[in-house]
Chain A
Amino acid sequence: MTDAYVVGVDMIKFGRFPEKSVPQLGSEAALMALDDCGLKIQDIDALYCGNLGQSSGMVGQRILQQIGQTGIPVVNCANACATGATAFREAWTSVKAGLYDLVLAVGVEQMGKGLLGSAGGATGIPKEGLLGSGTMPTVFAEAGMEHARKYGTTFEQFAKVSVKNHHHSTMNPKAMYQIETPLETVMNAEMISYPNTKLMCSVNVDGSAAAVIASERKARELGLMGRAVKVRASVLTSDPWQERDLVMPDVNTCTRKAAAAAYEMAGLGPDDVDLIELHDCFATAEILHYENLGICGDGEAGRMVDDGEVALGGRIPVNVSGGLLSKGHPLGATGIANIYEVSTHLRGEAGQRQVENARIGLTHVIGLGSACGIHILEKAAA
């Protein structure tokens, strides 16, 4: 099988763009990714489009109806918050299989403000606030409190995740927010679902990101290896059975399973990874994934954030983009935006927030319900 390379990748600055349509937002990132590698839509063999909010709305085709209807195959993907990563992986799969030489993956989302999560079923009476809460801040708070139960992780340690990621975002001009948030500010912000305060919840924003994936032969033929990023591993898992998962979605087991498979596929281990963009939809979630991804032992995640090991300049910087907490979380775009972030570091183009000498990076997303997507990327040998 051929190796597959990211040759062009970009994202728009995340924000709120109610005046734009979903295909318009997607088109912007698609064209930016094409420009990043000097290609045109006419060069692309297939399009894989990730979008959740209009998952029955043929968003991929509507993007081509903006930027060029070349008649190529279009696959529209929806996989909760793993939607973008799933579109990217489908694109990668098609290149690995030898079907296509140049494919485009686009992730795009337009979101309202406010709480996400079940507000109740269609029949009977609403269950929210009657049988606990199904809001996302609560579901991830309960997952974090499971960690607190096992290891004594504190509210303050969860809050430090937000302090770190908000600090990182001050160096990322494409983040929704670039605001420092001291620990007291995070802990004293409006409590949403204990222990997640408002500043420990990801931001609902509009956004898009896109990547052009090429086979090795094509990347060489086009002279694009200089800035190319090799996809060393692409893994998608769903949630294996767990005894509590009917009432408590399990984001840990599917991540551990995906991480093990990704490290095996890439032929490396967590110690080889120079930076990670992981799914910090809530501050409580990030803590879980240090252990799930194997960058520390079980029970050590609180210490990791206390000691600054996961901050820029630390042993293994996590979410130097600002993460979903500060960069924003446009559901369908997130999985490709984190490919952009890691690729930018591997290319040495991340400016002020550059992780020095970054050679290998890992991206991780969770789609609740559940899906886990992990990609391991490596700076290509030119």
Chain B
Amino acid sequence: MSERPLPAVEYLKIPDDGDPYLEGSRCGSCGAVFLGERDYCSKCGARGGFSPITLSNTGSLYSYSIVHRSYPGIDVPYISAIVDLDGGGTVKGNLINIDPDPDKIEFGMPIEVVYDDALGRKDRDGNSYLSYFFQPR
């Protein structure tokens, strides 16, 4: 079992010293931004030539839904949010620290990416995970 939490997704990086961050890659030919590492570019067809980029921890809310029914064991309601990060990259996650009420949620509202334990979820080996969340900024 790992003593440190593992990243919930491969594009979440946890440096030995320093704060966690989301990593993307930028196509050297067309500039398209992807989450995590890529072999090829699905926008322009480039083979390789990607540069890793640190994605921004700020962005804005693009779209969302308030989830009232999910699979057994998952707490509802919660906000499933799609966030455009400043400087490129779009990520999906839970929007927290705001009421799950459409009257309170505004398209384009400023968002910050925060990192925390993955809601207590552990894998079969008992490892803990670090995940990312969105909150109003």
Interface residues of A (CB under 8 A from B): 115, 119, 123-133, 135, 137-138, 141-143, 145-146, 148-149, 155, 190-196, 241, 243-244, 246-248
Are B70 and A133 touching (Cβ within 8 A)? yes
Give complex CA distance A132, B131 in Å.
12
How many A-B contacts if CB must be within 8 Å?
Answer: 127
Residues of A within 8 A of B93 (CB): 130-132
Residues of A within 8 A of B69 (CB): 115, 135, 137, 190-193
Is B104 an interface residue, CB under 8 A from the partner?
Answer: no
Q: Nearest A residue to B66 by beta-carbon distance?
A: A194
Residues of B within 8 A of A124 (CB): 6, 8, 123, 129
Among A135, A155, A241, A248, point to the contact of B67 (Cβ < 8 A). A135
Interface of B (DSSP majority class): strand
Interface residues of B (CB under 8 A from A): 6, 8-9, 32-35, 42-43, 62-71, 74-76, 78, 80-82, 84, 90-94, 102, 107-108, 118-119, 121-123, 129, 131-132
Are A241 and B42 touching (Cβ within 8 A)? yes
Q: Nearest B residue to A119 by beta-carbon distance?
A: B71
Q: What are 29 of the A-B contact pairs (CB < 8 Å)?
A: A115-B70, A124-B6, A124-B8, A126-B121, A129-B71, A129-B94, A130-B8, A130-B94, A130-B119, A130-B131, A131-B92, A131-B93, A132-B82, A133-B65, A133-B80, A137-B65, A142-B63, A149-B62, A190-B69, A192-B69, A193-B67, A194-B67, A195-B102, A243-B32, A244-B82, A244-B84, A246-B35, A246-B90, A248-B62
Residues of A within 8 A of B94 (CB): 129-132
Are B121 and A125 touching (Cβ within 8 A)? yes
Minimum distance in angstroms from B102 CB to a CB of chain A? 6
